[in-house]
Amino acid sequence: MRPQTILAVDDEPIFRFLLETHLREAGFLPVTACNGLEALAVLESRRVDLIVSDLVMPDMDGIRLIEQVQQRHPGLPVIVVTAHGSVEGAVEAMRLGAYDYLEKPYNPGDLKITIQRALDYRHVLRENEQIKGLLEDRFTFQSIITVNPAMKRMLELAAKVVPARQTTVAIYGESGTGKEVLARAIHFAGKGLPAGFVAVNCAAIPESLLESELFGHVRGSFTGAERDREGKFSAASGGTILLDEIGDMPLPLQAKLLRVLQERVFEKIGSNAPLPVECRIIVATNRDLAGLVASGRFREDLYHRINVFPLTIPPLCRRKDDIPILCSHILEQLRQHLGKPVPGISPKALEAMLAYRWPGNVRELHNCLERAAILTDGGQIGPFQLGIAGAAGVESVAGRDAASFAGAGDGADLGAADAADLGSYHLTLPLDQLSLEALTLERCGGNKSKASQLLKINRKAFYRG
């Protein structure tokens, strides 16, 4: 790794020389400038990782230098060195964006530590920006792949609610349809959000802990509360909170959430001080909330309060026109993830996928393709690699006990692992005997003896003689 380049700026030659020496001894690559103007010229001509600058200099002092660096080179850390008794100037420099300050005469060890902390901080900021950029690219309306008219209309509606940050959004859909993906797309479409996206699964957290998880608590508010704790609403301040599986929220907590939505304030457990809700609120569920209201398991007033802007994601079985394009998109991701070629899906496999109901929706489709991509040996994904289970009218080799295949006939070359492997494959087409024989033969690589052993039929009768 190349040494980090540090620009040392000081109008006093002796101090500049000492600073240059200390930087080199600390393992950095120093370059020097005698004032702010010269420092700016250096920044235009070469890469610099950090600046260490005096405050009081002719032509352009340290304060002006920091202002110019903030404008021309945002993110470049600056550490100021000031004479004893001039701490006020150092505080002003930090207000303008300097990372830290040292008083003359400084300790060379303190200089090294301070520089390293500033460089580490800059590295973290860069990583956060990269992650944010990747998330923004991944979770956008454009990244939601669809050609289905109903899905497109839903996305158009979702885009309209983006500017209305105070409006509660309710996302309905079966498990695996992508409710959180849509919620993140709404969040990232809101430009200028300074904070992040916080998701809470209301069904996964015990009732006794959910209130503290959402709103936080103060020390001593209950047994085990040894310190103050911030809740998810505080963590989401300035961003978005997703209350997933809202239909599973306990009734007592529903009343408190209703107040949060109506008054836009909440209280920590054990505190009477109201705190403002400063985030977008999105709720999601795979439950029929209207049915839960009718049965008394969900508050009617809360239902109407969260149902201000409902969005319903159609299940995959009602937008099968999306399956081919989703397969293409997912396989492209899997090629990069697995580092292996996956030519595509055979016509028979695609026919099987179109015939299947996909109770797990897009999540199940992704998992199915990932498994198939791992199993394929470089050819197209066929029906046997899909492993789709539970489709209506399925004829499956796994319908027979896989263990029985292991001992099929004397001299059988099919082991228990092979039999169990084949036994896990399900086909989504109603198969007559001929189709079953053909597909079994395909799985066995054209070996009729092996295929006839699996099907427990005479080899001479295979393919009707």
* pLDDT (tens digit per residue) in 117-136: 999 888 877 766 655 555 55
Q: What is the pLDDT of residue 129?
A: 61
| Cross-strand pairs, 242 | 199, 282
Alpha helices in 264-360 (DSSP H): 289-294, 300-306, 323-338, 347-355
User: Do residues 283 and 168 make contact, with C-beta atoms less than 8 angstroms apart?
Assistant: yes
Q: Which of 26-30, 140-144, 445-449 is modeled with the greatest confidence? A: 26-30
Residue 355 reports pLDDT greater than 80: yes
CATH classification of 139-314, choosing from 3.40.50.300, 3.10.20.30, 1.10.260.40, 3.30.450.190?
Answer: 3.40.50.300
Q: Which of 19-33, 242-256, 399-413, 446-460 has the lowest mean pLDDT?
A: 399-413
- Between 86 and 89, the higher pLDDT residue: 89
52: which strand partners?
8, 79
> Exposed (0-12), middle (13-18) or buried (19+): which is 243, by Cβ within 10 Å?
buried
Mean pLDDT of 295-321: 95
pLDDT at 207: 85
Residue carrying the six token digits 């499956």: 396
- Judged against a pLDDT cut of 60, whether residue 6 lies above it is answered with yes
**In this model, does residue 391 exceed pLDDT 50?**
no
pLDDT at 190: 74
Q: Are the folds of 5-126 and 139-314 the same?
A: yes
437 has a pLDDT exceeding 70? no
Reported as a pLDDT band with limits 50, 70 and 90, residue 454 is low
18 versus 402: which is more confidently predicted?
18
Half-sphere exposure of 234 (CA within 13 A, CB side): 15
Burial of 200 (0-12, 13-18, 19+ CB in 10 A): buried
Name the maximum alpha-carbon separation found in the chain: 103
pLDDT at residue 436 above 90?
no
**In sequence order, which residues have a C-beta less than 8 Å from that of residue 50 and are 6 or more positions away?**
4, 5, 6, 7, 76, 77, 78, 79, 115, 118, 119, 122
pLDDT score for 106: 86
Average pLDDT over residues 372-380: 87
Pairing of strands 275-276, 265-266: antiparallel
Average pLDDT over residues 386-391: 60
Residue of 200, 296, 301, 284 lying closest to 247 (CA atoms): 284
Q: What is the pLDDT of residues 177-219, one digit of tens each?
A: 999 999 999 998 876 555 688 999 999 998 888 999 999 999 8
In the chain, % of residues over pLDDT 70: 79
Across the strands, what pairs with 312?
172
Between residues 225 and 52, which one has the greater pLDDT? 52
The mean pLDDT value of the chain amounts to 82
Q: CA-CA distance, 314 to 286, in Å (whole number)?
A: 11
- List CB contacts of 440: < 8 A, sequence separation 6 or more: 397, 451, 454, 455
Q: What is the pLDDT of residue 463?
A: 47
Q: How confident is the model at residue 241 (pLDDT cuts 50, 70, 90)?
A: very high
Q: Which CATH architecture has domain 5-126?
A: 3-Layer(aba) Sandwich (3.40)
Domain ranges, ordered by start, for the chain: 5-126, 139-314, 320-461
Is residue 164 scored above 60 in pLDDT? yes
Which architecture characterizes domain 320-461 according to CATH?
Answer: Orthogonal Bundle (1.10)
Mean pLDDT of 266-295: 94
